Structure 1
Amino acid sequence: MIEVSQFWRDPALPFVEARRVGDGRKVCYAAHSHESFSIGVITGGRSTYLNAGQRVEVGAGTTVLMNPGVVHTCNPVAGESWSYLMLFVDQPWLQALGFALPVQTWSRSPVLYQRLLQAFADLFDASVPDREARLAALFSGLPDLLGSSAGVSAEGNPRLEAAAAFIRAHRSDPLSLEDICAACGLSRSYLIRAFRQRFGLTPHGYLLDQRVQLARARLRQGWAIAEVAQEAGFADQAHLQRAFKQHLAATPGHYRNALG
C-alpha cells in the first residue's frame, strides 16, 4: 500500500528532494512557496491548482511547475482522492546547467509526464547509474518538452519587491508591519492590499512562509526541532509545528526523518 506521504532524500544527490503522496485528501496546504524550483506530476484523481493567482483543475497526467518564491496551493476537488509526485531542485544546481525558469505553470504533455515518471523511478533506485546526469538531461531538455521558450515574468512595483526582500532578509527577526513599511516607504494600508495582490499573501503570511522555508532547510540539515524553532523565529516548538503542518501538510519530525 502506498503511504499517505513520504519524503525522499539521498546524500549522493543533495541538491534534490522528492515527495510521494498516495492520498492527497490527507495532505492539504495553505498558500505557500518554496525556495527551490518545484515540478511534479499528478498520478491519480483531480485537484485544484492555484499558482500566482491563476486557478486550474488538474488531473492524472498533468505536470505542474512552481518557480521559487511563487505562492501556490494544490488541493483535492470536493474531497476526491488524488495522488502525486513532486521534485524540489536547488537553484544553484539548476543555474550551473544554464537552466532558465519557465513561464508555464502546468502542462498536459504526455511526453513530459512520462519523462518525469521515469526520472522519479531513476531517483528512487540507488542502483541506477548516472542519476545526476540523467536528471541534468531532463532539465536541460525541459524547454523543448514544454514546447515554448523559458523566461521569468516581469516584476511589479519595486517598493513591493523591496518589502519582500526585507522580509526575506529579516525572517528570523521579530518583524512588525511598521518595520516593513519603514523599509520600503509604503503606507500600512497600501502595503497590505498591494502585497497580497502581488505575492498572494499578506506581509505577515509571507513572513510566516519564509520562516517555514528556513525551518525546512535546517531540518533537512538534521537540526533538532527545538533549535530550528528558535533559529527560524517561531515563538516555540508548538508554533513551528502548527505552521509547518499548515504550509507543508507534514510535521517537522516526519519531514526531518525522511529516508533516502
Structure 2
Amino acid sequence: MIEAHTPRQSRFQPGTILAGHRHRHAYAALVLEGEYEELSVDGRVHCPTGAIVLHPPWHMHADRFGCHGALVIDLELPDDFAWETGYRAWQVDSIEKLACLAQRDPAMAFDCIAASAESLALIEPPLWLERFVRGLIGNSLPITLIARRCGVTPEHASRMCRRWFSANPTIIRREFRARKALELLKAGCRPAQVATEAGFADQPHMTRTLKSMTGATPAHIQSNWKTGR
C-alpha cells in the first residue's frame, strides 16, 4: 500500500500560465475538470479531465491552462516510489469515483490508478528537436555545434526548446545532469565521483547546481535520504 498525505485541491482560471517551478516532494496531479498542457524537459503532455500526472521530487515543469481552466487535486506521495516510477501520465475513466476515493483515501486511490489506468503518451516533438536534446544530454559539445549538426541555427533551437519544454538548451542540459547526480547520490556514490559521472566540470559546479535546484548541498541530500527525510 502506498502512503500519501491529505489531497490539496486547486482551481485554475482559463488562460492561466504557471511558469517553470518545482515541488520538493513527489506528487500526483489528478485533473477533475477542464484540461491543461504540462511542459518539462521530459516533453509535453496534454492533461484532459481524468488525467493523472506523477512527478518525482524536485521535478521542474510549467503548466498552461486552456479556455476552460481546470480543477486539480494534488496527492503527495513517497519520494522513493516516484523515483522508481519516474515522470508518467495516465488517463482514467471513472473520474468521479476516483475523486471521491482520493478525498477519503489517497493511498488507495493511487493504487487503483497504478493498477488499471491507461498511459498517456507525450506529444512527440520534431525529429530534429529530439536529436538536439539527445545531443545535449549525451555529451558536452557546444550547444552551437549540436544545433548546426541538427540542421538548425542555435537561435531557432533555443526558441523551440523554450516553446516545447519551457526551458532553454542550457537549462535542459543542466536539468538532466542534476537528475543523474541525484540518482547517483541516492545510490550512495561519493560526491566527487557523482560530479564526474554526471558531466559536471567539477564538484563545486555540481554543488552549486544542486543547491540552486533543491536548496541543499549534495552531502545534505545524501544524508536526508539515509535518514528517510
Q: Do Structure 1 and Structure 2 share a fold, with TM-score over 0.5?
A: yes
Deviations 1:140-192 (A, max 9, x none): 14x3xxxxx5421421211111111222222xxx3311232133221111001
Counterpart for residue 196 of structure 2: 230
Cα offset for 1:239?
1.7
Tell me if 1:181 matches 2:147.
Answer: yes
Tell me if 1:65 matches 2:59.
Answer: no
User: Equivalent residues in 2 for 1:68-83 (5 A)?
Assistant: 71-72=60-61
- Secondary structure of 1:102's partner? strand
Tell me how far apart the structure 1 counterparts of residues 166 and 182 of structure 2 sit (CA, whole Å): 21
Counterpart for residue 39 of structure 1: 27
Cα offset for 1:139?
1.0
Identical amino acids, percent of aligned pairs: 24
Q: What is the letter of the counterpart of residue 151 of structure 1?
A: L
Q: TM-score, normalised by structure 1?
A: 0.53
Which of these residues, 95, 101, 111, is aligned with residue 111 of structure 1?
A: 101
Tell me how far apart the structure 2 counterparts of residues 84 and 252 of structure 1 sit (CA, whole Å): 27
Cα offset for 1:65?
3.2
Q: What is the letter of the counterpart of residue 85 of structure 1?
A: E
Tell me if 1:167 matches 2:136.
Answer: yes
Which of these residues, 68, 76, 89, is aligned with residue 101 of structure 1?
A: 89
Q: What is the letter of the counterpart of residue 90 of structure 1?
A: E
Query: Are the aligned partners of 1:32 and 1:72 in contact in 2 as well (CA < 8 Å)?
Result: yes
Q: How many residues get paired?
A: 175
- Secondary structure of 2:27's partner? strand
Deviations 1:111-133 (A, max 9, x none): 235443468xxxxxxxxxxxxxx
Counterpart for residue 123 of structure 2: 154
Which of these residues, 153, 156, 159, is aligned with residue 190 of structure 1?
A: 156
Q: What is the letter of the counterpart of residue 157 of structure 1?
A: P
Tell me if 1:206 matches 2:172.
Answer: yes
Counterpart for residue 69 of structure 2: none
Q: What is the letter of the counterpart of residue 51 of structure 1?
A: E
5+ residue gaps, structure 2, are: 6-18, 30-35, 45-51, 64-73
Deviations 1:83-102 (A, max 9, x none): 9834414249x9xxxxx732
Query: Are the aligned partners of 1:241 and 1:251 in contact in 2 as well (CA < 8 Å)?
Result: yes
- Over aligned residues, Cα RMSD in angstroms? 4.2
Q: TM-score, normalised by structure 2?
A: 0.59
